[in-house]
Structure 1
């Protein structure tokens, strides 16, 4: 949000209400969801709703931030804050976790380069990525697993588009947002994202994780 001016561009002296307002204006989150995320996050990080923090402070380890990030490596032992540099190899692996639908595959084959075909990331693709990272990283507590799913549940809802065969986020949008920390080119919010939307998608990701793990166990 700082890159687009929805919060202080320098990321300094942020208040919970600044973050809440930014979430509403940037992503069209409902007032309740935006307040829940911002004030709840500030309480977890600072122990107060009212203290100011810098953007870097949001990365305080094991408060809101957690290991097994999709695009950051785990916080080194003894460090108070998580790494802020995006690892682009992890971004590439995240995109590789997307499995195009049969219809998307056929559409790609029907075009010279497949470049005009929009490939979408959905809850099952996110589940695949979460399993991979949780297998690679230190064990997460259940509340951290829930937070990790919730983060992606929000984004699946905010950037959601639908095609004839799949509902999800265009991979080029995801790569720009998560890899470059910028909004997709030309994107504008089309709907309000509420807390019940996030809960529903979180459950969808969890169900997909359980399904994929069960399939792995049988293999």
Structure 2
């Protein structure tokens, strides 16, 4: 994120922290064998402790479906409050199968910008702070009201319905790029600024993680998966803990591919717009 001026310190803190992390953690193993052997592929199905429970009015939730789902199933505090760094990393590596380097990088970014930096915990609702990590043009959340400090957390089911109706056969990488372009172009219709470079990168990364975690054997994210994970914030019926780790390099590669596809789509739209304008003249 090229943060607006009130958040510039967050930007430099985050990237300084990441540089230090890589310097000190380069050779750490990424997934303990004792973790892997202890997990079934869908441990929440027959485990009452990890059954889905919708959040209550006093519970904290974020704009992130991945973290909200972990809270709704009790893999992190169901309250969504004061979640320890170790709990966040452990749940991301064990349930979503992120590599430890990727999980620690994401958690460091969250705690470093929105959490308690000394006691090393994070409450989910802090992630709704507008234009810190959160950004406008979410696929399933309303944009932050102008002048508001925090973004809406509740899912907009009209956006969910529109997304799944537009891609009834599921969303591949190109479809996710298209969906992001559509939402970002709507910012102009609402007289809002476009996403800055870093928030754009975060948005690409979110789309990449959605595809990496939730794609099926045909490399698409099913519409029912979108409705369960993005909408209800529970594990889709088809979801199993992945066989392979999702590494930083995999995530970065898919994120770059989505970003490049978005640039191409925007250029094509601009060309068609100019072509139409010339024909009208």
TM range (shorter): 0.7 to 0.9
Output aligned runs, 1:135-150, within 5 Å.
135-137=185-187, 138=192, 139-150=194-205
3-state SS of the aligned residue for 1:35?
helix
Change in CA separation of 1:24 and 1:33 when aligned onto 2, cut-off 3 Å: same
Judge conservation of contact 1:24–1:30 (CA < 8 Å) in 2: yes
- Residue 124 of structure 1: CA displacement? 0.9
* Structure with the greater alpha carbon radius of gyration: 2
Return the alpha-carbon distance in structure 2 between the equivalents of residues 123 and 49 of structure 1: 38
> Of residues 151, 169, 194 in structure 2, which corresponds to 1:82?
151
Equivalences, count: 197
Establish whether residue 132 from structure 1 lines up as the match of residue 187 from structure 2: no
Partner deviation per Cα, 1:60-93 (whole Å, 9 max, x = no partner):
1111111111111111123221111100111122
**Corresponding residue number in structure 2 for 1:175:** 227
Establish whether residue 7 from structure 1 lines up as the match of residue 57 from structure 2: no
Establish whether residue 154 from structure 1 lines up as the match of residue 204 from structure 2: no
Establish whether residue 56 from structure 1 lines up as the match of residue 125 from structure 2: yes
> Of residues 262, 265, 272 in structure 2, which corresponds to 1:209?
262
3-state SS of the aligned residue for 2:237?
coil
**Corresponding residue number in structure 2 for 1:27:** 96
Return the alpha-carbon distance in structure 1 between the equivalents of residues 257 and 118 of structure 2: 31
Partner deviation per Cα, 1:178-214 (whole Å, 9 max, x = no partner):
0111111152122211111111111111122122122
Runs of 4+ in 1 over 6 A off after TM superposition: none
Return the alpha-carbon distance in structure 2 between the equivalents of residues 3 and 57 of structure 1: 17
Change in CA separation of 1:186 and 1:161 when aligned onto 2, cut-off 3 Å: closer
Q: TM-score, normalized by length of structure 2?
A: 0.66
Q: What residue ranges of structure 2 are gaps of 5+ in the alignment?
A: 1-69, 273-281
Q: What residue ranges of structure 1 are gaps of 5+ in the alignment?
A: 101-118
Q: TM-score, normalized by length of structure 1?
A: 0.83
**Corresponding residue number in structure 2 for 1:92:** 161
3-state SS of the aligned residue for 1:155?
helix
Question: In terms of mean alpha carbon deviation, does 186-195 or 28-37 score higher?
Answer: 186-195
- Residue 177 of structure 1: CA displacement? 0.5
> Of residues 181, 196, 203 in structure 1, which corresponds to 2:249?
196
Return the alpha-carbon distance in structure 2 between the equivalents of residues 49 and 17 of structure 1: 14
Judge conservation of contact 1:43–1:49 (CA < 8 Å) in 2: no
3-state SS of the aligned residue for 1:169?
coil
Partner deviation per Cα, 1:116-135 (whole Å, 9 max, x = no partner):
xxx33111111111111111
**Corresponding residue number in structure 1 for 2:42:** none
Return the alpha-carbon distance in structure 2 between the equivalents of residues 66 and 168 of structure 1: 25
Return the alpha-carbon distance in structure 1 between the equivalents of residues 170 and 238 of structure 2: 17
